[in-house]
Amino acid sequence: MNEVPLNHVLFVSTALFFIGMYGLFTRRNMITMLMSVELILNSVNINFVAFNKYLYPDKLDGVFFAIFIITIAAAEAAVAIAIIINLYRSHHSIDVKDAEEMRF
Amino acid sequence: MSASAIFFYILSISILGAGLLAVTTKKIFRSAIWLLFSLIGIAGLYFWMQMEFIAAVQIIVYVGGIVVLIIFSIFLTQQSGKQMARPSIGRIVFSLLAVCIGFALTYSLLQPYVFQPPSSAPVDMSVRNIGNQMLSTTQHGYVLPLEVVSVLLLAAMIGCIVIAMKIKTQAK
């Protein structure tokens, strides 16, 4: 593990964050936008765990932050999917262009 | 270059490639499967950093929970073989521009920074230590966030049931 510098791990997490950002910008389907959000949250988790492992190996705080982020991501995904299913029931579509009642 | 470093670069290429395919592929079911591979690669990255507990949590919660939930919701809401509409060229160009500029800015700030190497001895990363610190009420304990997050999970669970519940109309 010591041969790889921390900057390379941070390169991976930054690239993953912006890949998720690209998906969030271009996709118009709610489920795929949710997947992009999951990618973004995972890139943040990589950062926390890498900083904990490389810079503060005597503490466990990064691990706890990663665990709490995973928990909240699971809750967020469940609520988002409940909303998506409810939206599909009323609009018969999960495209964000079709849900425009509260837009303006 | 040692085997560990080679393993890291293979893992990162697979994570980034699968992530890129997950946000660009046309069929939504394939997108979910590519997301699955990307998350497995991230779990492999945690194993590579010798964080076995986080890797296990990642596999259980993400791969076993969230991706399965996403796949079920794909089955519930649309035909999985259908092609998604291609986004307009202008949107692709401008989001690519924004993403590339953001990445270049972030990484140019990150690249020259020199991180101080750790000075203290590493702590034992076993599950026993993690559990002890998570439930301790002393200064560095995490028992209050644990309770708050458990209340949040309960609220999310009830909220999901209420949101997705079908309201029966009285047919009389």
- For an interface test with A, which of B31, B75, B77 has the most A Cβ atoms less than 10 Å from its Cβ? B77
**ipTM attached to this prediction:** 0.91
Q: What is the CATH number for A70?
A: 1.10.287.3510
Q: For residue A89, what pLDDT is reported?
A: 85
Question: Is a pLDDT exceeding 60 seen at residue B5?
Answer: yes
Tell me whether residue B151 is exposed, middle or buried, using C-beta atoms within 10 angstroms of its C-beta: 0 to 12, 13 to 18, 19 or more. exposed
Q: For residue A104, what pLDDT is reported?
A: 67
State the distance between the two ends of chain A, measured CA to CA, in whole angstroms.
Answer: 52
pLDDT in tens, B24-53: 998 888 999 999 999 999 999 999 998 889
> For residue A17, what is the nearest residue in chain B, using CA coordinates?
B103
> Where are the alpha helices (H) located in chain A, listed in sequence order?
6-26, 30-54, 61-91
With beta carbons under 8 A apart, name residues in chain A contacting B106.
14, 18
- CATH code assigned to B3-110+124-164: 1.20.120.1200
pLDDT in tens, B66-99: 999 999 998 888 765 677 778 888 889 999 999 9
Rounded to an integer, the average pLDDT of A87-103 is: 81
Specify the amino acid at residue A100: E
Decide if A1 is inside a domain. Answer: no
Domain carrying residue A56? 6-98
Percentage of chain A beyond pLDDT 90 is 56
Residue A55 DSSP label: T
Domain boundaries in chain B?
A: 3-110+124-164
Look up residue B163 and give its two tokens.
């949101």
- What is the rounded distance in angstroms from the CA atom of residue A1 to the CA atom of residue B48? 7
**Minimal C-alpha gap between B172 and chain A (Å):** 23
Decide if A39 is inside a domain. Answer: yes
Q: For residue B171, what pLDDT is reported?
A: 62
Q: For residue B121, what pLDDT is reported?
A: 76
The total domain count for chain A is 1
Beta-carbon contacts of B8 under 8 Å, excluding residues fewer than 6 positions away, are: A4, A8, A9, B45, B48
Q: For residue A28, what pLDDT is reported?
A: 86
CB B78 within 8 A of CB A94: yes
Decide if A104 is inside a domain. Answer: no
pTM of the predicted protein model: 0.90
- What is the rounded distance in angstroms from the CA atom of residue B23 to the CA atom of residue A57? 34
pLDDT in tens, B115-156: 877 777 777 778 888 888 888 888 888 899 999 999 999 999
B20 shares contact with chain A (CB less than 8 Å): yes
